[in-house]
Amino acid sequence: DFMYSIKGLDDVEEYLRKSLKLQDILIVPGDLDEEALIINELGKTAAKYIKENLKEDYIISLTGGSTVKAVIDNIPKINKFKNITVLPARGGIGKNLETQSNTLAAKFAEKISGNYKLLHVPDNLSDHALEAMLNEKNIKEIVDKIHKTNILVFGIGKAEEMAIKRGVTEKEINELKTKGAVAEAFGYYFNSNGDIVHFTPTIGIRREQLENIDLSIAIAGGKSKAQAILSAELNLNAKVLITDEGAAREIMNIL
Ligand code: F6P
């Protein structure tokens, strides 16, 4: 059986690239759950990959989180690209300023001498408030740009952890559990089959738009995130997955 003859990371990459139908997969050695510094390896690897794929006039959208932060921290100063715009992929303000998508978008733009726009929109808006927001000229302009994203970089989290971070009520957390939510990425919650079971109403990138994005890059590591990564990827089909060995080997076990 092929599974049992797998040894090196190259084999794991090849196996996951095929089974998850990825354009590219990059696996860094180690496990983020065991060594916190692995986040920098993930960040470096992703930063290099993004740099190699940047083009003039590109629009790059980012989500927040500690993993995407590590990517931005590892982007070198670059001057050679003209007219790059960096945007938060979606509205929603996490509690931690450091890892908010707005902050990361501004930092990234500064490093590559590009432009950025910020979205100040709370999570969990009512339909009414959402619609009103989308009719605001300023916001509409940014959202239209987000919808033209060329490179999307997003993190993946465990459903319950993310729900707690977003400050949802205990009742809602229980509802998520009942629905079998295991993963979260840019506001969508997924069950283990990759079905969307819940959505945080906000503005920005929507599921339907992913196919039209030239380069979608999911980045997440740690063995304990394996199920979340697999579930989100089953639904979102990001073209590129950047992960670590701990998560990758565990995803193989689940598959
Ligand atoms: O809150 C933004 C976000 O990208 C979530 O969509 C995702 O679940 C989470 O951050 C990942 O965060 P981290 O990389 O810190 O685990």
Average of pLDDT values for 232-250? 97
- The per-type count for the chain, helices as H runs and strands as E runs, is 11, 11
204 lines ligand 1 (CB under 6 A): no
Other CB atoms within 10 A of residue 243 CB: 30
Taking the centre of ligand 1 as the mean of its atom positions, its distance from the CA of residue 155, in whole angstroms, is 5
Distance (Å, whole) CA 226 – CA 244: 10
For 36-53, the three-class secondary structure string (H helix, E strand, C coil) is CCHHHHHHHHHHHHHHHH
Q: What pLDDT is attached to residue 93?
A: 65
Write the pLDDT tens digit of every residue in 85-138. Answer: 999 998 876 667 778 899 999 999 999 999 999 988 877 778 888 889 889 999
Location of structure tokens 């840019």: 186
Per-residue pLDDT at 6 exceeds 70? no
Pair 252, 3: CB distance under 8 Å:
yes
Rounded to 5 degrees, what are φ and ψ at 240? Answer: -130, 135
Taking the centre of ligand 1 as the mean of its atom positions, its distance from the CA of residue 183, in whole angstroms, is 10
Band (pLDDT 50/70/90 cuts) for residue 233 is very high
Average of pLDDT values for 163-171? 86
Q: What pLDDT is attached to residue 65?
A: 94
Measured from the Cα of 219, ligand 1's closest atom is: 14
92 lines ligand 1 (CB under 6 A): no
Pair 107, 184: CB distance under 8 Å:
no
Closest CA to 165 of 200, 137, 138: 200
Q: What pLDDT is attached to residue 218?
A: 98
The two tokens of residue 119 are 């979205």
The residue contributing the CA closest to ligand 1 atom 2 is: 64
Model pTM?
A: 0.95
Write the pLDDT tens digit of every residue in 220-230. Answer: 999 999 999 99
Distance (Å, whole) CA 189 – CA 195: 8
66 lines ligand 1 (CB under 6 A): yes
